[in-house]
């Protein structure tokens, strides 16, 4: 049996009405969430709650994200460790939000693409519009405009969450650098107070290093 023109290219769009296509996508994003959680790609992480001592160190920025203290050098080494642990959990939380936002964007973009294809066929074959005018009709069709606007909102949200994620990674890097500086400073002070460090010969052997002559 021969296929109608365009049937192979747009099988779904040809068999379903535009409204039915839109309805089909209504439950896709919740299903994607379930699949992500089941596959451990992105767990549904709860928002981390700071302990009272951590809360005193932090300020709250946009979207509720924690901001670092103005001067990390004023914190004790213990508090730096606590802060690093909390911000690591918060960074993981933001990353899980980013994964879900990207998945939602993919679904919405696919939805818009299918609706656009269905409308193209509808305007050409049902409404008899010339091919040169089809794109203009689609662009002003409320069904497509709604889908396209949803895609735009999702893109903006993804970019915002990306920015939040990068900011949290930079905050972790700043804390890590301060911890490294403290460790090096402690090592230098210990060396100055105690004179040359004495290392047992067996330690040189275990570490794979040769003792300087």
Structure letter (DSSP) for residue 208 = T
pTM score: 0.67
Structure tokens at 174: 């700043």
Half-sphere exposure of 109 (CA within 13 A, CB side): 10
The answer to whether residue 149 is domain-embedded is yes
The answer to whether residue 161 is domain-embedded is yes
Which range of residues forms the domain containing residue 51? 11-207
Q: How confident is the model at residue 167 (pLDDT cuts 50, 70, 90)?
A: very high
The average pLDDT across 67-73 equals 92
The answer to whether residue 181 is domain-embedded is yes
Structural domain count, the chain: 1
Return the higher-pLDDT residue of 165 and 45: 165
């Amino acid at each position: 049996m021969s296929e109608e023109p365009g049937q192979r290219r747009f099988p779904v769009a040809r068999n379903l009405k535009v409204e039915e296509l839109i309805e089909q996508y209504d439950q896709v994003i919740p299903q994607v969430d379930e699949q992500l959680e089941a596959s451990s790609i992105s767990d549904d992480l709860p928002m981390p709650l700071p302990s009272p001592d951590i809360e005193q160190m932090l300020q709250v920025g946009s979207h509720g994200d924690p901001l670092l203290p103005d001067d990390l050098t004023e914190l004790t080494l213990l508090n730096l460790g606590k802060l690093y642990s909390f911000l690591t959990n918060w960074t993981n939380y933001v990353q899980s939000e980013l994964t879900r936002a990207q998945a939602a964007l993919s679904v919405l973009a696919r939805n818009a693409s299918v609706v656009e294809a269905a409308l193209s066929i509808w305007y050409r074959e049902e409404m008899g519009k010339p091919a040169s005018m089809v794109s203009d009709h689609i662009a002003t069709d409320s069904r497509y405009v709604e889908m396209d606007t949803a895609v735009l909102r999702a893109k903006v949200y993804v970019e915002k969450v990306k920015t939040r994620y990068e900011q949290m990674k930079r905050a972790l890097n700043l804390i890590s650098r301060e911890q490294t500086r403290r460790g090096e400073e402690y090592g230098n002070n210990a060396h100055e107070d105690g004179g040359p460090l004495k290392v047992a010969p067996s330690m040189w052997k275990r570490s794979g290093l040769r003792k300087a002559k």
